[in-house]
Amino acid sequence: MESEARSRQTRRAWALSAPALFLLFLAAAGPLMIVLVYSFLLPGKYGNVEWGFSLDGWRGILYTRDIFDGTLKLADAHLTIFWRSVKLSLLTTIITFAVGFPTAWFIATRAPKARALWLFLITIPFWTNLLIRTFAINEVLRNEGIINTVLTRAGLIDAPIRMINTDFAVLVGMAYVYLPLMVLPLFAAIDRFDMRLLEAGYDLYASRLAVLRRVILPIVKPGIVAGSILVFVPSLGAYVTPRVLGGGKNMMIGNFIELQFGQGRNWPLGAALSMALLMIVMVALLVYVRAATKGSNPHG
C-alpha cells in the first residue's frame, strides 16, 4: 500500500510539474536546439542560413579558408580572441577575489546592524543598468576622464595616459561590474565561519599566513568556488563592457559572435561559436560542482 501511494504521489508530482517543464524546454532548450542546428548548415548570401549540411561553421572556429586557393589555415585572429577572453576572465576572477575576500571578511566581522548596511551598499550597483555602469567607468578612464584630469592638474603627467580602448580598460570594467558577485558568496561562507578556530590556530603557534592558508581558506572554499564561477562565466561571454571600453578593437567571444550574426553574415559560424562558448561554460560548471562537493565533504 505504501509503495502504491508513493507511486501515485510521484505521478501526481510529475503531472503538476509538466507545464513548467514544458515551458522550460520551450524557452531554454528550444532556442539552443535551433542554434545547434544552425551550426551545421550553410551560410546564406545575405545572412540567415541555407538548408544544407556542412561542418564549415565548426571548422571555422579554428580554421579559415584562403580566398585565393581555398586552402585551410589556422585562424590566428579567432584564437587570439579566445585567448583574450579566457585571459581577461581569469584575471577578472583573480582581481575580484583579491578585493572581494578582504571586503567580505570585513563585512562578516561587523556588528549585525553595520553588516546589514555594508551589504546594502554592496548591492547598490545592481540597481543600475549594466550599460550605465560601464559608461561610468568610461568617464573615469578616458583621456579627459577623472584619473587623467587629476594627474594632469597635479603635474604628475604632461599628456593623458591612454587607458581606454585597451585590455586594461576592459579588465577594470569587468572587475568593477562583477565584484559584487564575488563578495556575496564569500560573505555567506565567512559568515558561517567559527571564529574560535582562529584562536585555536594561534594557540598552536601558527602564523597569520598559516592560519589563512590551512584554516580559513579550506573552510570558506565553497564560497570561493561559487564566487569564482559567478564571475568567470559572465566575464567569458561579456558583450557590453568589451564593446564600450574596448572600442571594438579588443574583441571578446561575445562581440565576435555578434559580429558573425551582424556584419559577418555567417550565422553557422556564429552558432558554432555560441555552442563552443556554452561547452566552455558547462565544463566550468562541472568543475565548480566537483570542487564544491569535495569542499563540503569532510572526508574528501
Kindly provide the b/e burial profile for residues 69-95, where b requires at least 16 CB atoms within 10 angstroms of the residue's own CB.
eeeeeebeebeebbebbbebbebbbeb
Question: At residue 253, what is the residue type?
Answer: I
Contact indicator for 269, 60 with CB cutoff of 8 Å: yes
Residue 70, pLDDT above cutoff 90 = no
pLDDT in the model for residue 298: 43
Residue 236, pLDDT above cutoff 80 = yes
Residue 21, pLDDT above cutoff 60 = yes
- What percent of the chain clears pLDDT 90, i.e. is strictly above it? 32
Contact indicator for 61, 272 with CB cutoff of 8 Å: yes
Residue 38, pLDDT above cutoff 90 = yes
Residue 101, pLDDT above cutoff 90 = yes
Cα dihedral: 196, 198, 201, 207 (round 10): -160
Going by pLDDT thresholds of 50, 70 and 90, the confidence category of residue 41 is very high
| Residue 276 C-alpha from the chain's centroid | 15
Residue 291, pLDDT above cutoff 70 = no
Neighbours of 59 (CB within 10 A): 16
pLDDT in the model for residue 216: 87
User: 203: part of which helix (H) or strand (E)?
Assistant: helix 196-203
Strands 42-43 and 63-65: unpaired
**How long a stretch of residues is the chain?**
300
Question: At residue 165, what is the residue type?
Answer: N
pLDDT in the model for residue 103: 94
CATH architecture for the domain at 76-296: Orthogonal Bundle (1.10)
- Over the chain, what is the mean pLDDT? 87
pLDDT in the model for residue 182: 94
Residue 300, pLDDT above cutoff 50 = no
- List, in sequence order, every residue forming a beta bridge with 49; answer none if it has no partner: 43
Residue 88, pLDDT above cutoff 60 = yes
Mean pLDDT of 128-145: 90
Question: At residue 248, what is the residue type?
Answer: G
The tens digit of pLDDT for each residue in 45-60 reads 887 888 999 998 999 8
- List, in sequence order, every residue forming a beta bridge with 43; answer none if it has no partner: 49
Q: Comparing 21 with 135, which gets the higher pLDDT?
A: 135
Residue 2, pLDDT above cutoff 80 = no
Q: Is 47 left (phi over 0), alpha (psi -120 to 50) or beta?
A: left
Q: Which three cell numbers stand for residue 170?
A: 576592459
Neighbours of 100 (CB within 10 A): 27
Give the lowest-confidence range in 63-72, 100-109, 271-280.
63-72
Residue 133, pLDDT above cutoff 60 = yes
Q: Comparing 170 with 5, which gets the higher pLDDT?
A: 170
Burial of 161 (0-12, 13-18, 19+ CB in 10 A): middle
What is d(CA 268, CA 56) in angstroms, rounded to the nearest whole number? 8
DSSP 157: -
pLDDT in the model for residue 293: 65
**Residue whose C-alpha is closest to residue 138's, from 253, 248, 241, 234:** 241
pLDDT in the model for residue 36: 92
pLDDT in the model for residue 299: 45
Q: Which three cell numbers stand for residue 169?
A: 580598460
Residue 183, pLDDT above cutoff 60 = yes
Residue ranges per domain, the chain?
1-38, 76-296
Residue 176, pLDDT above cutoff 80 = yes
Mean pLDDT of 148-176: 90
Collapsing DSSP states into helix, strand and coil, what is residue 42? strand
